[in-house]
């Protein structure tokens, strides 16, 4: 006996497909919060590490800013006039520093940061800061000045007009100053003169330095690199350094190797740390800081002293005033002055103590919310956190700034 083939109508098939799609969307929707939460903890290796040997360098120089509108250094700033005399001498003009009086020149320090792999012809931003008693550098132009590195060598030359972020106007009590008028910026104002590029081809090992040292994070970086290359090429030496062997990685170049390593993603373990700024009452919490069972009792004592003045009577003062009669011609009148006596009142009041309790597993965020609920100020919260840490109720590193 032949079996009849089973047929499914288009409507039934369409409904089954929609049902399956709905189930898939429901499952993906249910899993999306966990996936999103996991993705939020993932970071690139490039964001938490730097490569040893690939670094920036600080540059500093000394120079003159000219073209000021009478707001430069005054006569008592001797080194400004001496520098001007030396600059004029190089151009064939001899002047006596003691006889020079100028107000449109200011002595400045020039600072810049030399990036890694900088080559001659590259441009740098420079910051120009007054070191004399100039009132403002607005409208000034920096003369060509050499920028030196830590080894004393010249790595760049700076020159150009200043861009100011503030201004100064008026004199004396009518003077108004906005932001810093003695510090300016010259975008692309310095040109690199010396090659400081690092030869990566000579690297036998690429060392990754963690910006926030942590043993677990260092081990995770080494594991991620080993999984990427499918063999053991990386090792965590300590909490702040991970070494990657260039020869074992068998990469085309060190640059490609560093790029592959820096683009790996991993989960970062944030340390349990609380940073407190007592001056501003700012509290910053990092990591999942947990608390042991703790009770906090907080009360306010208010003492107010008020002084009031009351008139206790009058007393005669001075001499008799003539013409005190009814007709204004005879007799005399005594000058009287009221007597004022201060009265001091002392009012002391103490609010009822507010109590809150946190159970096992509570975090600092719940503690801070509870403290605000019972009426504590930001400075009270700082003091209470310090006391809880001293009592052993907080398992975290507490840093007070």
Block residue for tokens 């204004």: 328
pLDDT of residue 269: 76
**C-alpha 280, offset from chain centre:** 14
pLDDT of residue 192: 95
Distances (CA, A) of 211 to 218, 242, 269, 335, 381: 11, 12, 13, 83, 30
pLDDT of residue 18: 41
pTM > 0.85: yes or no? no
Extents of the domains making up the chain: 57-165+180-192, 200-267, 271-314+332-401
Are 267 and 359 contacting, i.e. CB atoms less than 8 angstroms apart? Answer: no
Q: Which stretches in the chain have pLDDT values below 70?
A: 1-40, 166-179, 281, 286-288, 294-336, 339-361, 374
pLDDT of residue 79: 84
pLDDT of residue 231: 92
What contacts 300, CB < 8 A, 6 or more positions away? 350, 351, 375
pLDDT of residue 241: 95
Query: Would you call 264 exposed, middle or buried from its count of C-beta atoms within 10 A (0-12, 13-18, 19+)?
Result: middle
pLDDT of residue 8: 39
């Amino acid at each position: 006996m032949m079996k009849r083939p089973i047929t499914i109508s288009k409507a039934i098939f369409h409904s089954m497909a929609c049902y399956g799609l709905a189930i898939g969307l429901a499952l993906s929707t249910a899993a999306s919060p966990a996936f999103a939460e996991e993705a939020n903890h993932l970071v690139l290796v490039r964001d938490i590490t730097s490569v040893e040997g690939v670094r920036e360098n600080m540059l500093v120089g000394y120079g003159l800013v000219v073209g000021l509108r009478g707001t430069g250094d005054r006569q008592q700033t001797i080194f400004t006039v001496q520098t001007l005399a030396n600059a004029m001498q190089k151009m064939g003009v001899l002047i006596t520093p003691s006889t020079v009086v100028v107000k449109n020149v200011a002595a400045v320090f020039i600072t810049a940061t030399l990036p890694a792999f900088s080559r001659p012809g590259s441009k740098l931003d420079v910051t120009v800061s007054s070191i004399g008693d100039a009132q403002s550098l607005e409208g000034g132009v920096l003369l060509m000045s050499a920028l030196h590195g830590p080894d004393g060598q010249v790595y760049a030359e700076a020159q150009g007009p200043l861009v100011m972020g503030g201004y100064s106007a008026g004199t004396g009590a009518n003077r108004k100053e906005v932001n810093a008028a003695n510090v300016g910026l010259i975008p692309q104002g310095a040109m690199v003169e010396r090659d400081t590029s690092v030869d990566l081809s000579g690297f036998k090992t690429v060392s990754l330095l963690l910006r926030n040292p942590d043993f677990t994070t260092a081990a995770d970086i080494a594991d991620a690199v080993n999984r990427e290359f499918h063999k053991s090429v990386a090792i965590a030496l300590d909490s702040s350094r991970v070494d990657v062997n260039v020869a074992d990685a068998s990469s085309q170049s060190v640059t490609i190797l560093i790029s592959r390593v820096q683009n790996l993603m991993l989960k970062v373990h944030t340390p349990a740390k609380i940073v407190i700024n007592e001056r501003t009452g700012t509290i910053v919490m990092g990591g999942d800081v947990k608390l042991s069972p703790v009770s906090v009792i907080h009360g306010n004592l208010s003492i107010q002293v008020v002084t009031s003045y009351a008139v206790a009577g009058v007393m005669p003062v001075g001499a008799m005033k003539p013409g005190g009669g009814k007709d204004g011609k005879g007799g005399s009148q005594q000058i009287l002055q009221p007597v004022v006596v201060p009265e001091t009142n002392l009012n002391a009041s103490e609010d009822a103590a507010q109590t809150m309790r946190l159970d096992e597993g509570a975090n600092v965020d719940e503690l801070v919310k509870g403290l605000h609920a019972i009426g504590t100020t930001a400075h009270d919260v700082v003091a209470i956190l310090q006391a809880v840490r001293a009592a052993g109720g907080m398992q975290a590193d507490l840093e007070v700034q």
